[in-house]
């Protein structure tokens, strides 16, 4: 219709942002293409903003293919390095997203291939395979703990040893232990208390005894 919209105000589009390092698109998101354009011209602040901005996105892309957090981070770093090295190959007239995603996919596929090759050739060293020359390091921890506790109990004075064996190892009640040993309940309590104290002293690692 002729004349229609003549009185309507012309919408203004902001071309250059007031913040030089933070160009945004009309939807409010940062414009990666323009950040990259500035990075190519040597604007370090724009480059930092871009790299920090794309990192969570790349992490999400990598998380689709890798499970371990370390692998994901390695892939992200690999992609960032590649982006850095081929940043001159970016054409600012084309969208940045597909360019970045293409690089990310290439690097991820390369890493997956390398991983598959390594898995086919190498066996991962599990903690179970670890062993050392010193025999003590290869002893099962639970067994060695029980053995050293029994050894320490044997070294206690006779009354303390009797109290701890009855009350702790045989799990007798104070009444039963008093009846069996012919000692008073309070004497048994004192003996047990002292026995635990002595055991603590005996079993404390050598380095802490001083």
Partner 1 sequence: MTKTPDLIDTLVDCATPVRRLRPPALRAALWLLFAALVLALLAVVHGVRPDLALRLEQPVFVIGMAGALATGILAAIASFKVSLPDGSRWWLLLPLPGLALWVSTISYGCLTDWVSMGPNGGRMGEAARCFATLLLTSAPLSIAMLVMLRHAALLRPTAVCAAGGLAVAAITSFALSLFHSLDATIMILIWNLGTALLIAGLASLFGQSMLARFAAWLMPVAFRTHGRA
Which residues bind to partner 1, rule: CB under 8 A?
A: 39-42, 44, 47-48, 51-52, 55, 70, 73-74, 76-78, 80-82, 84-92, 94, 98-99, 102-103, 106-107
Alpha-carbon distance 48 to 204, whole Å?
Answer: 53
Nearer to partner 1, 44 or 150 (CB): 44
Q: Please, what is the minimum distance in Å from the beta carbon of residue 200 to partner 1? A: 41
Provide the β-strand partners of residue 24. 30
Nearer to partner 1, 36 or 191 (CB): 36
Nearer to partner 1, 83 or 177 (CB): 83
Q: Please, what is the minimum distance in Å from the beta carbon of residue 25 to partner 1? A: 19
Cβ(35)–Cβ(22) under 8 Å?
A: no
Q: Please, what is the minimum distance in Å from the beta carbon of residue 125 to partner 1? A: 18
Cβ(181)–Cβ(188) under 8 Å?
A: yes
Alpha-carbon distance 120 to 191, whole Å?
Answer: 62
The residue among 85, 104, 98, 77 whose CA lies nearest residue 39 is: 85
Nearer to partner 1, 79 or 153 (CB): 79
């Amino acid at each position: 219709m002729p004349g229609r919209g003549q009185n309507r105000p012309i919408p203004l589009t902001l071309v250059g942002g007031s913040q030089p390092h933070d160009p945004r698109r009309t939807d409010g998101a940062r414009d990666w293409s323009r950040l990259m354009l500035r990075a190519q011209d040597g604007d370090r602040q724009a480059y930092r903003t871009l790299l920090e901005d794309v990192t969570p996105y790349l992490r999400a892309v990598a998380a689709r293919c890798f499970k371990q957090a370390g692998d994901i981070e390695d892939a992200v770093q690999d992609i960032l390095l590649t982006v850095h090295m081929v940043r001159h190959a970016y054409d600012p007239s084309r969208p940045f997203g597909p360019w970045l995603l293409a690089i990310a996919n290439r690097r991820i596929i390369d890493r997956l291939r390398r991983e598959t090759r390594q898995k086919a050739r190498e066996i991962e060293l599990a903690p179970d395979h670890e062993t050392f020359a010193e025999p003590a390091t290869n002893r099962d921890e639970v067994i060695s703990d029980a053995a050293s506790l029994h050894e320490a109990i044997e070294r206690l004075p006779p009354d303390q040893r009797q109290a701890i064996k009855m009350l702790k190892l045989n799990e007798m009640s104070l009444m039963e232990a008093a009846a069996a040993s012919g000692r008073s309940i309070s004497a048994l309590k004192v003996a047990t208390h002292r026995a635990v104290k002595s055991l603590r002293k005996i079993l404390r690692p050598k380095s802490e005894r001083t």
